[in-house]
Structure 1
Amino acid sequence: MLRDDLIFLRALEADDLDFLYALENDSSLWHVSDAVTPISRYTLQKYLDNSAADFHEVRQLRLVICAATDGRAVGTIDLFDFDPRHQRAGVGIAVLQNERKSGFARAALKLLAIYARQNLYLHQLFCTIGAGNIASQRLFEQAGFQFVGVRKDWLRTAEGWQNVVEYQCLLDI
C-alpha cells in the first residue's frame, strides 16, 4: 500500500474538485510549472472525469498526498512523460502552501519511488527544477535523486531567462 506513518497516496476522487481548484490556482506554484493563467472548475471537472485512465495509455499518473492523521489532502505527486521503452518517467510534486515543510513531499517521493519500481517496473525517475528553487533541489537530493546537468536559459520569467537543473534517480540500484 502507498502509506507510511506520515502520509498516504491515493487516486483522484470526484470530490477532489475544490482541492484541485485551490492547488492549481495557487499562483505561487505557477513559476515551477507551465501555468500562466487560472484554471476553471469546468476544466478540472473534465480532468477528474478522465483521471482513471490507464497509466500505460495516457502516460501520466496523478496521486493525491494525504496526511495519515486525518486524511486531508495536502498535495499531489505526478508521474508524466512516461516512456515505456526506456522505463522512465518525470516526477512533479505540489504541496499546499500552508502544508509545506512538514515532510509530506519527502515522504511522497519515497513512496512514489517504491511504487514506480515495484509496480510500474520503472528503471528511473527524473525531474527538472528551476535553478533558483533551492528548496526543491534539496528535497529531491534527500529523496535519492542525483544532479545530472543544467539547461541554460530554459525558463522565461518576469526577471528574464532562468536555467534549470536536471536530476534523476535510478530505481534498481
Structure 2
Amino acid sequence: MLTLTGKLLNLRALEPEDLDFIYDIENDESIWEISATQTPYSRFLIKQYLENAHQDIYEAKQLRLVMVSKEQETIGLIDLFEFDPKNKRVGIGLLIAKSENRYKGFGKEALQLVCEYAYKHLNVHQVFANIGEENEASIKLFENLGFQQIGVKRDWNFVNGKFKNELFYQKLS
C-alpha cells in the first residue's frame, strides 16, 4: 500500500473505511464546481469505486490519496489524473474537506509530496493543474510551489448560470 510521509500529514491509499468521507465529499454540492460533478453519488457506487481503487496508476490513469494528519484526522484528498506515461505528464488536484483545516500547511505539504512522487516514481516531466480563476487560495498555493500559469481556458465552466474561466498551471521537472 502506498503511503507518503510528511511532517504534518501522511498520504495513503484509499481504504474501505473511507466510504463515508468520500460519500460526503462527492455529494457536497458546494464543491461540485471544482470536481465537475453534476449528480449525487450513491453509497453503492462509491463502495464499488473503493473496491477498484487498488488498480495501478498505469492501468487506471489516476490515483487518489487520502490526506491524514499526524493525529489521524482525515483532512482531504489529493488526486493524480490523466496520467500519460508516453508524454510524461499527469494532472493534480487537491481538496481540504473542512475549512478549519485550510491555511495550515496541509495542502502545501501534500502537493510537495505528490509532485516528488510523480517526478521520482512515475518519471513524469510535468505536472499540471486546472484552477478556477476565482480560486485565489489554490492559485497562491500552486504558484508558491513553482507552478506557472501557462494559459486561460475562457468561459470553460458553466456554473450557476454563468461561464467562468479556468487557469491552466504547469510545473516542469
| Separation in structure 1 between the aligned mates of residue 28 and residue 75 of structure 2, nearest angstrom | 13
* Shift of residue 101, structure 1, vs aligned partner: 2.0
Question: For residue 75 of structure 1, what is the amino acid of its counterpart?
Answer: G
| Separation in structure 2 between the aligned mates of residue 28 and residue 100 of structure 1, nearest angstrom | 16
- Cα-Cα RMSD: 1.2
* Shift of residue 36, structure 1, vs aligned partner: 2.0
Q: How many residues matched?
A: 170
Residue 62 of structure 2 corresponds to residue 60 of structure 1: yes
Q: Which residue of 1 aligns with 2:117?
A: 115
* Shift of residue 97, structure 1, vs aligned partner: 2.2
Instruction: Write the mapping of 1:20-99 to structure 2, written as runs, cut at 5 A.
Output: 20-68=22-70, 70-98=71-99, 99=101
CA contact (8 A) 1:29 1:94 kept: no
CA contact (8 A) 1:59 1:82 kept: yes
> For 1:154, which of 146, 156, 160 is the aligned residue?
156
Question: For residue 106 of structure 2, what is the amino acid of its counterpart?
Answer: F
Q: Which residue of 2 aligns with 1:106?
A: 108
Q: TM-score, normalised on structure 2?
A: 0.94
Q: Which residue of 2 aligns with 1:12?
A: 14
Gaps of 5+ in 2: none
Q: Which has the higher contact order (CA 8 A, sep 6+)?
A: 1
* Shift of residue 135, structure 1, vs aligned partner: 1.1
Deviations 1:45-79 (A, max 9, x none): 000000000110111000111102x1221111001
Q: Which residue of 2 aligns with 1:133?
A: 135
| Separation in structure 2 between the aligned mates of residue 72 and residue 162 of structure 1, nearest angstrom | 33
Question: For residue 71 of structure 1, what is the amino acid of its counterpart?
Answer: Q
| Separation in structure 1 between the aligned mates of residue 42 and residue 141 of structure 2, nearest angstrom | 30
* Shift of residue 159, structure 1, vs aligned partner: 4.1
What is the identity percentage for the equivalent residue pairs of Structure 1 and Structure 2? 44
> For 1:143, which of 128, 142, 145 is the aligned residue?
145
Question: For residue 102 of structure 2, what is the amino acid of its counterpart?
Answer: R
